[in-house]
Structure 1
Amino acid sequence: MSITRIGVCTMNQFAMDFNYNLQNIIESIEICKRKQCLYRVGPELEVCGYMCEDHFLESDTVTHCWEALSEILLHTDNIVCDIGMPVIHKSVFYNCRVILLNKKIHLIRPKIYLADDGNYRESRYFTPWSKEIEELELPTFIQKITGQKCVPIGVAILQTLDTEIGIEVCEEMWTPIPTSASQALDGAEIILNSSGSHFQIGKIKERTELFKDITKRNGACYAFCNLRGCDGNRLYFDGCSCIVLNGKVFAKSDAFSLKDVEVTTCDIDLQEIRNIRINIKSRSLMASKQKHFPRIKLHINLTQQQNYVYYRDIPIQYESEVEDSMACYLWDYLRRSGASGFMLPLSGGVDSAATAISVFYMANKIFKTISTIDDDYGSHHKVLNQLRQIVQDDQFSPKSPQEIVNKIFFTVYLGTQNSSPDSKYRSQLLAEQIGSQHYEVNIDEICNACLSAIKPIVKEDPQFIANGGTLSEDLALQNIQARSRMIITYLLAQLTPWNNGKQGFLIVLGSSNLDESLRGFLTKYDCSSADINPIGSLSKNDLKELLDFCYKTFQFSALKLILEAKPSPELRPLTAEGHVSEKDMELTFDELETFAKLRKVQKLGPVSLYKKLRYLWSDISPKQVAEKVKKFFKFYAINRHKVVSITASFHAQSYSCDDNRFDFRQFLYNWRWPWQFQKIDENSE
């Protein structure tokens, strides 16, 4: 048997915080040593953080990475350290892995395929490597530590005294012919992938299947190392690093954890890889024709004489990935922002309830973490100390999640004469059950004051449609209520800590869902305007599933009442039929979700979308389908300006319409779509 042990380090890094990132990296190396690992691999761009974005274009960022690396080098005795950082070579920026051993740099391995789809913009900052091995001259202060003037840069296989290792960087795994496949055919027995792979519903399972497939076909050990946490943007990196051998997952890190550092390891018998390869004859034929990769020799033995622990295949399955990822994202956002808590306008409807329950879910995760002794990483102490710093009480020891919520979460019901007693009750009950400090403010006086201010200008008092007014009057009266709520929310967010004798400010949370944002069914600068919107990339159906899961988990009766209520903004006078959102939108939430998926995921324009729906919605006539499609694109075009300025959203869905990052489109349209709508009409006849 040839047993080796690799340390796969899941890291919660923070973009541009070099002190914090360096501390995590050094801690991970020391943990690897304690676990008797001889190879330590970290995630992509771990030294500076993945989401530095245009900071990558600043030479200071690269300089600071080298400065941090000078300290990391001092910890590399008898352990190979695979470190992620940007590097400049011949005045070109590259996304690289830097291979260290015994205070020397043995290889700088640049990324050869960059991620440029969805949320990724790597080619804005980096250039893919397309050359053979070259020599890179090290910074002078690094030369003094390593005793090297130049080191190799390029794509190569690492050759130790007992095995060969291929290196792959994130996107290379997703290509039609992964780099790992070619390296495995050329003899690499272990493949190491360092990634910055963000959370998206279903992505963990999809990713894991790729690892299992490539190792089953080729015979290999695949160690996937991912970032964890929110490191400065809309994305949450889900962790879930894993070690896969010959198609089976032998070890994995937690996908949704509050640990800043976690080292995953297991014993790998290299002989199992060799036995598999010998017996796959088609693989042998392909391997005999594989182009040769250069070798970089490392004078170290990775196999060890130790008791072999056999690992069984681990299933990768998460029932609450949306709730968990959102909770972890909110915790990172809170502890890194310098804020002392959250503020949310709580209306008693599905959207704001989903945001509120996400904060409770975060508190529940914090409570579980600090209540469980963690001898390996001390995460219970670290998280408790961070929580105490946020609540400004160094003796705070919560006995329940509700106690945590009560310290950091403030909700407010902003009622008007158009609000119903039912929504007020649901809001109050949910706040009571999750533990938030809850306020009630009537904003009728504010709305009336605004109308009084313009009285000398307008010819008469505006009226709702129900009272004989026009659509313009009706919308204006609705919008002044909605915008007043945003103003009061921000006022309370600034004054609440002061009022409670605390320092700091509160982060205002938004609660605008994907469907309404896509349709433009919201008031610009209302409660959709916030500091961060946790639910902005989730559809109404997603949110109902979230609330249903939380109801079954926590048994909060308020959630059941909210799920049973009809969605309504309550901005018009109360009538027998109520003010129902779907009636005003002229499209159902189910229809809007379908439009969102076909438009974004399948990239269908108006005509192609109509042709697709004509078969998906075969229970209605082609003309009815055509009218729905034209109605959607008309509303989309007219209201497009709203999404341009909408609050940044936590990313969770592949069909998110987050304009600022994920869904780039013009914001000025000919809303009549004359050419496209004519083609739809021709096809519907």
Structure 2
Amino acid sequence: MSQLHIAGATLNQTPLDWEGNFDTIMQAVQKAKEKQVELLCFPELSITGYGSEDLFLSYWYPKKALAYLQKILPFTKGITICLGLPCRVSGKLYNCMAVVEDRKILGIVAKQFLAIDGVHYECRWFTPWIAGEVISFDFYDSSVPFGDMTFEKNGISYGFEICEDAWRGDLRPGFRLKDRNTALIFNPSASHFAMGKSEQREILVRESSEELEAGYFYINLLGNESGRMIFDGEILFGYRGEILVKNPLLSFHNYQLVHFNFPLEKPLTPVSNPIEHDKNEEFTAAATLALFDYMRKSRSKGFVLSLSGGADSSTIAVLVAEMVKRGIRDLGVPLFLEKIHRSDDIDPKSSIKDIIGKILITAYQSTRNSSTDTLQSAKSLAETIGATFHHWSIDEEVAGYTQKIETALGRNLDWSGDDIALQNIQARARSPIIWMLANIHQALLLSTSNRSEGDVGYATMDGDTSGGLSPIAAVSKDFILQWLQWAEKELRYEGLKGVNALQPTAELRPLESRQTDEEDLMPYPVITAIEKLAIRDKRSPADIYLILKEELSLESAPLKTYIRKFFELWSRNQWKRERLAPSFHLDEFNVDPKTWYRFPILSGGYRKELEEMDVLEE
């Protein structure tokens, strides 16, 4: 077999940033030319970005993508480039890869299967292409082959499975490519990050290279492209049932290029088989890159955080600090500051802690119900990571609101009859002042809700949910608790010692009540067990009871009580989930109705289904 110098380039793109996306592509093309690459493949929808949402429905948006493809043509002399973009044919939009060589388009391949589950809604915008069909496409008065086809270079045939195409079992296009004796198959993808997903991709690439008897080259998008979904920028190459190439994931750079000669007989870099995956490290890498991209793409000056000393806000504080450390490690201080638009007001000679202090502003907002333990926990963490720390009391504001209501009602409020209202006013009284601090610093206010709280509505709307971004809303509280232990030990955040010594509590009732989250709700691992079956697996209350009765060491009566409480609170609080700040998709599922799980705001609340559970034998 002849040899072909091939490359894959992952890109961090942004919808509507036409010139920025073009420049990133050009940087990768230039680097590929310097490395004497002959065939370069970019990810799916690399010109527009995958997260363009309903912009795809317009006629002008795909048309503009074609204009930028035309703009790229002059730079393809001596190299073949494969680029992703939307193309409209006879009123229907297709998700495509254009193959460009020596200033000409050789053909445009259209995706045959669309991703329509979880965070993906491709059927809203695109139409699947029919296998085997090829038509003529008018590209600036030139006739271009369009549809299902293969190509050849240096005597080596190559073709495409575009992302979801590869995950359709016996129906996948790869088997038809095999029948055509295709030696090299590219999989340009926009595959969202989720903890543990990289391992699934390795299996796909390894098995595909063996089953399809071809070199299998996987290239994914990179970064927090448009707000919620994160792409890890994974590049994998499989050959004869082995993974021979795997790049470092979740880079802070605009692009990564991996190149080698095909066929490749041995690993380009050390690749273990199977590769070990650590969810704590995956979570950290994804969340920090997502925060970095969100901050720079929104042109915010940093982050403001109400630091309570508890698990959730402490997790976010550490993630921001780690974002700075990892960004500087990848980019160096000058480029890091340039990317976040802080070159003018932060000295590049500053220490990492000083840079963190400019980017992360925190405040501990105490009431008479706050403990010295949480104050010291918050203060110690802020000091050890370098965050700016403020401390003030909101008792005066709470008293003012309370007195006005008491006057209006003509009675005093008390904890026996007004518990929820007295708790919530404390959380809500914190919101205006922390928003003011964020406005003054031109920063993003971070809200601290986690997925477990989202399940059951254990959050005060316009209180602790206030913010423009909710970084940990897609992960469970029990994951957060164990991650904090890991971060203290493995990332060496000694300021987490105080946090990890505390039991999670809202601290909204008088201290003598010894309020704890799990006492208010149920054990966090139980919430996680129920939500996985209810939300991820779509199981009924009765099914969940029968399954967890076998899996958990719980008596039937409390287990039924927990399941009932979960479903009642879930149904009652959908309106809260509709109003949560944008969050990152980080786990295998989430409860954000805008990205993963839609549920009616008004419903019967599982009454019949809970009755069916109750009659089951204990």
The TM-score range, normalised by the shorter chain, is over 0.9
Say whether the 8 Å CA contact 1:248–1:314 is kept in structure 2: no
Alignment of 1:392-431 (within 5 A): 392-393=344-345, 395-400=347-352, 402-431=353-382
Counterpart amino acid of residue 396 in structure 1 = P
Match for residue 428 of structure 2 among 477, 483, 500: 483
Deviation, 1:633, is 0.9
Deviation, 1:325, is 0.6
- Aligned residue in 2 for 1:7: 7
**In structure 2, C-alpha distance between the alignment counterparts of 1:74 and 1:383, rounded to whole Å:** 32
**In structure 1, C-alpha distance between the alignment counterparts of 2:514 and 2:268, rounded to whole Å:** 63
- Aligned residue in 1 for 2:443: 506
Q: 1:479-501: per-residue Cα shift (whole Å, max 9, x none)?
A: 01101112221011112x3xxxx
Deviation, 1:527, is 1.7
Larger CA Rg, structure 1 vs 2: 1
Matched, 1:172 2:153: no
Say whether the 8 Å CA contact 1:566–1:580 is kept in structure 2: yes
Q: Which is worse superposed, 444-453 or 91-100?
A: 444-453
**In structure 1, C-alpha distance between the alignment counterparts of 2:568 and 2:528, rounded to whole Å:** 16
Alignment of 1:617-628 (within 5 A): 617=552, 619-628=553-562
Deviation, 1:519, is 1.2
Counterpart amino acid of residue 432 in structure 1 = E
Change (3 A) 1:611 1:163: same
Say whether the 8 Å CA contact 1:199–1:652 is kept in structure 2: yes
**In structure 2, C-alpha distance between the alignment counterparts of 1:310 and 1:386, rounded to whole Å:** 31
Counterpart amino acid of residue 344 in structure 2 = Q
Q: TM-score, normalised by structure 2?
A: 0.96
Q: Which is worse superposed, 556-565 or 229-238?
A: 556-565
Say whether the 8 Å CA contact 2:215–2:237 is kept in structure 1: yes
**In structure 1, C-alpha distance between the alignment counterparts of 2:34 and 2:149, rounded to whole Å:** 29
Matched, 1:336 2:297: yes
Deviation, 1:312, is 5.6
Matched, 1:677 2:614: no
Deviation, 1:614, is 2.3
SS in 1 for 2:406: coil
Q: 1:459-493: per-residue Cα shift (whole Å, max 9, x none)?
A: 211012xxxx31xx111111011011122210111
**In structure 2, C-alpha distance between the alignment counterparts of 1:394 and 1:477, rounded to whole Å:** 42
**In structure 2, C-alpha distance between the alignment counterparts of 1:188 and 1:267, rounded to whole Å:** 17
- Aligned residue in 1 for 2:89: 89
Q: How many residues align?
A: 614
- Aligned residue in 2 for 1:232: 226
- Aligned residue in 2 for 1:648: 582
SS in 1 for 2:342: helix
Percent identity of equivalent pairs: 28
Alignment of 1:544-623 (within 5 A): 544-575=481-512, 578-585=514-521, 587-617=522-552, 619-623=553-557
Deviation, 1:553, is 3.0
**In structure 2, C-alpha distance between the alignment counterparts of 1:44 and 1:37, rounded to whole Å:** 20
Deviation, 1:310, is 6.5
Counterpart amino acid of residue 254 in structure 1 = P
Match for residue 338 of structure 2 among 377, 385, 393: 385
Q: Which is worse superposed, 507-516 or 313-322?
A: 313-322
SS in 1 for 2:518: helix
- Aligned residue in 2 for 1:363: 324
- Aligned residue in 2 for 1:543: 480
SS in 2 for 1:512: coil
Q: Which is worse superposed, 2-11 or 187-196?
A: 2-11
Counterpart amino acid of residue 576 in structure 2 = K
- Aligned residue in 2 for 1:219: 213
Deviation, 1:68, is 0.8
Change (3 A) 1:440 1:381: closer
Say whether the 8 Å CA contact 1:493–1:506 is kept in structure 2: yes
**In structure 2, C-alpha distance between the alignment counterparts of 1:130 and 1:559, rounded to whole Å:** 55
Deviation, 1:520, is 1.2
Counterpart amino acid of residue 129 in structure 1 = W
SS in 2 for 1:516: helix
Q: Where do 5+ consecutive residues of structure 2 fail to align? A: none
SS in 1 for 2:37: coil
Q: 1:134-185: per-residue Cα shift (whole Å, max 9, x none)?
A: 434434xx34xxxxx2111111121334111121100011112232233124
Counterpart amino acid of residue 398 in structure 1 = S
Deviation, 1:103, is 1.2
Counterpart amino acid of residue 430 in structure 2 = R
Say whether the 8 Å CA contact 2:337–2:346 is kept in structure 1: no
SS in 2 for 1:95: strand
Say whether the 8 Å CA contact 1:138–1:151 is kept in structure 2: yes
Counterpart amino acid of residue 336 in structure 2 = V
Q: 1:416-438: per-residue Cα shift (whole Å, max 9, x none)?
A: 01100110111000000111111
SS in 2 for 1:423: helix
SS in 1 for 2:4: strand
Say whether the 8 Å CA contact 2:47–2:65 is kept in structure 1: yes
**In structure 2, C-alpha distance between the alignment counterparts of 1:314 and 1:198, rounded to whole Å:** 23
Counterpart amino acid of residue 519 in structure 2 = K
Change (3 A) 1:383 1:522: same
Say whether the 8 Å CA contact 2:227–2:294 is kept in structure 1: no
Q: 1:186-237: per-residue Cα shift (whole Å, max 9, x none)?
A: 3011000110011101001111111001112333211111100011121110
Change (3 A) 1:7 1:522: same
Match for residue 259 of structure 1 among 241, 253, 271: 253
- Aligned residue in 2 for 1:246: 240
Say whether the 8 Å CA contact 1:98–1:109 is kept in structure 2: yes
Deviation, 1:131, is 5.8
**In structure 1, C-alpha distance between the alignment counterparts of 2:193 and 2:582, rounded to whole Å:** 16
Q: TM-score, normalised by structure 1?
A: 0.86
**In structure 2, C-alpha distance between the alignment counterparts of 1:646 and 1:442, rounded to whole Å:** 26
SS in 2 for 1:456: helix
Match for residue 412 of structure 2 among 445, 461, 468: 461
- Aligned residue in 1 for 2:602: 668
**In structure 2, C-alpha distance between the alignment counterparts of 1:603 and 1:677, rounded to whole Å:** 15
Deviation, 1:248, is 1.9
Match for residue 457 of structure 2 among 499, 514, 520: 520
Q: Which is worse superposed, 85-94 or 29-38?
A: 29-38
